[in-house]
Amino acid sequence: MISTSNVTMRYGGKVLFEDVSTTFQTGRRYGLTGPNGAGKSTFMKLLSGELEPQKGTVVRPKKVGVLRQDQYQFDQFRVIDTVVMGNQPLWKALEEREQLYSKTDLTDNDGMRLGELEGIVAEEDGYTAESDAAVLLDGLDIPEPLHNRTMGELQGGQKVRVLLAQALFGNPQVLLLDEPTNYLDLESIHWLREFLTRYEGVLIVISHDRHFLNGVCTHIADIDYQTIIAYPGGYDDMVLQKTQIRSRIEAENAQREKKISQLNEFIARFSAGTRASQVTSRKKEVERLQTQELARSNIQRPYIRFEQKRPSGRHALECKNVVKGYDGLKVINGFSAAAPRGEKIALMGRNGAGKTTLLKALLANAPGVTDPDVGLDSGDVEWGHEVQVGYFAQDHRGSIPDGTTVEEWLHSHDPQASREEIRGLLGQMLFRGEEGLKPTEALSGGEAARLMFCKLMLQKPNVLVLDEPTNHLDLEAINALNVALQKFEGTVLLVTHDEDLIDEVATRIWHFGAEGASGGKSGTAIVDFAGPYAEYEAPQAVR
């Protein structure tokens, strides 16, 4: 169990939460939700002890597992050791034991201390520590050959998975995970979901993956109205309950206001007459009927709508024998496919399987794309009649130059657009008031992503190529994107690990390495399935 009592955190004049008292109970799995800037990460740091509350107290157990956000903190350590560090009492005992054993002469005190340390190692399951750590690493797609490498030799996504294994190691009583699915592919997310549903302690997780929250959480702790309210069920259950409660209170307030109006009318008519006792009685009833004050929600919902200036021809894209590789390795080797107008294709597969590589090959001569990082080694890519492509790159932040403002950068993509249209689009994506004058170099990851969607809505392409568009977006923005893509009448190529987005948007699946192939000289195997994700998954589950 972990609990807070009268916890308050303010930054300047902004109140994140005030006098929050809540208990997270053992055996329950909580999703901590709220829009960007609501204070989720701050609250998580209070629970872990990294921050002290400005007011109030936090009571936590001895063992708390935390997903570390600093990817470079452990660069000099072996991968397997980094995981074992998740159990600090064990790691300290192992280090001290090693130092004592390295001595040439042991004193009696050293011998006694070694006995104490062996007891700690035994109590903390230290004799199976490396094998237990290896099981976690294998489940998170960190193969055995990497276990003895240093963290500095790993790629960013691999480091995140090792740090996740570190948080899970040692059977902590409380597990605090801040965005654990970032940089994980679907297979790793599925493994993590199964692992967490078997976890018996207190789980508190921040995630912008609705499917993950619905699959893992027994409760949702929602930060809104400057407080935290716990709801039973998953994320969708919380949204429904929250809406129903708000609607009920608003309806009750409307009825009370109508009744108060009637009573005040009576009081005004007869206050100077002979019905003084009745007037007094109604005044007391007015006081009793005062409406319940509704705090303002801090949730902001963007509005995304993708339109086309004109539709493309019947055949949006055709490619034959596409080859693309790096450093002599053919990642994509001989891929051929055709996409008719209106097809929405989800590119799935493990990280590094070649999804982004294929997109960059297909975009080699795409109308409307000027990105210098696209191209193919050989093969033919033919875009259809009247096609105009809108591209959201995975590393899109680099395509927004410094030295200009949000409004000026967006206007540069359509100088004919009126200032009112530009400001309207920015407002739809939550750039309000003077935020359009914000320097582009000061944009956060989420703001840069929202600005890219403004650009796509301004350009009105008939083909959207989106590479990991949900990175840095909160749940409200992801839901808005989901709806917009479902309504879009053009063609979509989409790389994402968001299962709801794949399930609800895709009409076709390109699955990279579906049969276990992971590249090599022959390239990655790609399954082309003409149908939605649910139909594709059904036979997979049977096998």
With a cut of 80, say whether residue 463 has pLDDT above it.
Answer: yes
Q: How many residues does the chain have?
A: 543
Comparing C-alpha atoms, which of 480, 476, 468 is closest to residue 38? 476
> Cα dist. 131→56, 85, 364, 493 in Å?
41, 14, 46, 41
CB 145 within 8 A of CB 37: no
Determine what percent of the chain is predicted with pLDDT higher than 70.
Answer: 94
> How large is the average pLDDT for residues 414-426?
94
Helices (H), 124-234: 129-139, 156-168, 186-197, 210-216
**pLDDT score, position 521:** 47
Q: From CA 471, how far away is CA 478, in angstroms rounded?
A: 9
Average pLDDT of the chain to the nearest whole number: 88
User: Could you read off the pLDDT of 229-255 as tens digits, one per residue?
Assistant: 899 999 999 988 888 877 776 677 777
3-state secondary structure of 511: strand
Examine the pLDDT at 91 and tell me if it is beyond 60: yes
pLDDT at 107 over 70: yes
The per-residue pLDDT for 518 is 39
Selected residue with higher pLDDT from 371 and 64: 64
Task: Give the closest residue to 195 by CA, choosing from 138, 152, 240, 252.
Answer: 138
pLDDT reported for residue 522: 64
What was the pLDDT predicted at 217?
Answer: 96
| Residues 497/184, Cβ–Cβ less than 8 Å | yes
CATH class of segment(s) 315-542 = alpha beta
Higher pLDDT, 428 or 433: 428
pLDDT of residue 13: 75
CA 44, 47, 51, 53 dihedral sign is positive
41 near 50, Cβ under 8 Å?
no
Q: Which residues contact 485 (CB under 8 A, 6 or more apart)?
A: 306, 344, 464, 492, 494, 501, 505
Provide the strand spans (E) within 303-343: 315-326, 329-340
Q: What value does the mean pLDDT take over residues 48-61? A: 92
Give the pLDDT score at 513: 83
User: What is the per-residue pLDDT for 295?
Assistant: 61
What pLDDT does residue 296 have? 62
Tokens of 265: 């009318």
Tell me which residue has tokens 């005992």.
93
Please give the Cα distance from 285 to 208 (Å, whole number): 46
Q: Report the alpha-carbon distance of residue 466 to residue 493 in Å, rounded.
A: 6
* Residue 70 predicted with pLDDT over 90: no
pLDDT one-digit tens code per residue, 496-531: 999 999 999 999 999 998 653 334 446 778 999 999
Pairing of strands 491-495, 329-340: unpaired
- pTM here is 0.78
What's the rounded mean pLDDT across residues 56-82?
89
Examine the pLDDT at 543 and tell me if it is beyond 50: no
Q: CA-CA distance, 502 to 488, in Å (whole number)?
A: 15
- By the 10 Å C-beta count (0-12 exposed, 13-18 middle, 19+ buried), 83 is classed as buried
What pLDDT does 187 receive?
84
In this prediction, what percent of the chain has a pLDDT beyond 90?
Answer: 54
Amino acid letter for position 456: L
Asked if 450 contacts 272 with a C-beta cutoff of 8 angstroms, the reply is no
pLDDT tens column, 285-335: 777 766 556 566 667 789 999 999 999 999 999 999 999 988 778 889 899
Tens digits of residue pLDDT in 335-369: 999 999 999 999 998 888 899 999 999 998 899 88
Does CATH place domain 1-62+173-257 in 3.40.50.300? yes
Strand, coil or helix: what is 88? helix
How do residues 130-179 score in pLDDT, each as one tens digit?
999 999 999 888 999 999 999 999 877 788 889 989 998 877 899 999 88
DSSP single-letter state for residue 507: S
pLDDT at 21 > cutoff 60: yes
Give CA–CA dist 70/151, Å, rounded: 12
For CA atoms 375, 376, 377, 379, give the dihedral sign. Answer: negative
Query: Does residue 541 surpass a pLDDT of 60?
Result: no
User: CATH 3.40.50.300 occupies which residues in the chain?
Assistant: 1-62+173-257, 315-542
Q: What is the pLDDT of residue 261?
A: 81
Per-residue pLDDT band at 260 (split at 50, 70, 90): confident
Within 46-195, strands assigned E span: 55-59, 64-66, 174-178
Give me the pLDDT at residue 145, please: 93
